[in-house]
Amino acid sequence: QVDLVESGGGLVQAGNSLSLSCTSSGRTLGRYHMGWFRQAPGKEREFVASSNRIGGNVYRTTYSDFAKGRFAISRHNAENTVMLEMHSPTLEDTGVYYCAASSSPLGEALPDVDYWGQGTQVTVAS
């Protein structure tokens, strides 16, 4: 069965904001290091942002350089949801965005994902 499910993708005009959601019916996301990755056609999957669990309900956020100042990852544990807010998107942000969960921290050089979502397509139009 599907562990992680993304939603919120679609066609968006450059400059407009959109939000992606990640939920799970089989796992409590607050217990996991969580992250977002993306993949453009012909490119390798790349890290976008992470919310790593330090302990309890305390988390540390990390962003790739292209995401800093534009994207925001957030947790809503009561709703078992992890969000990715995308502000001022450009054509270069087009790709399939994947939610990820892991027992190990996630980041630019930490790609050891235990569970992947199916991905949601984000297409930015000029």
Along the 126 residues of the chain, how does pLDDT read in single tens digits? 558 999 999 999 999 999 999 999 989 999 999 999 999 989 999 999 999 999 999 999 999 999 999 999 999 999 999 999 999 999 999 999 999 999 999 999 887 899 999 999 999 999
Residues 122, 86: contact at Cβ < 8 Å?
yes
Measured at the CA of 78, the angle between CA 5 and CA 121, to 5 degrees, comes to: 25
Q: Which amino acid is at 1?
A: Q
CB 113 within 8 A of CB 103: no
pLDDT at 3: 85
Cβ–Cβ < 8 Å for 61, 48: no
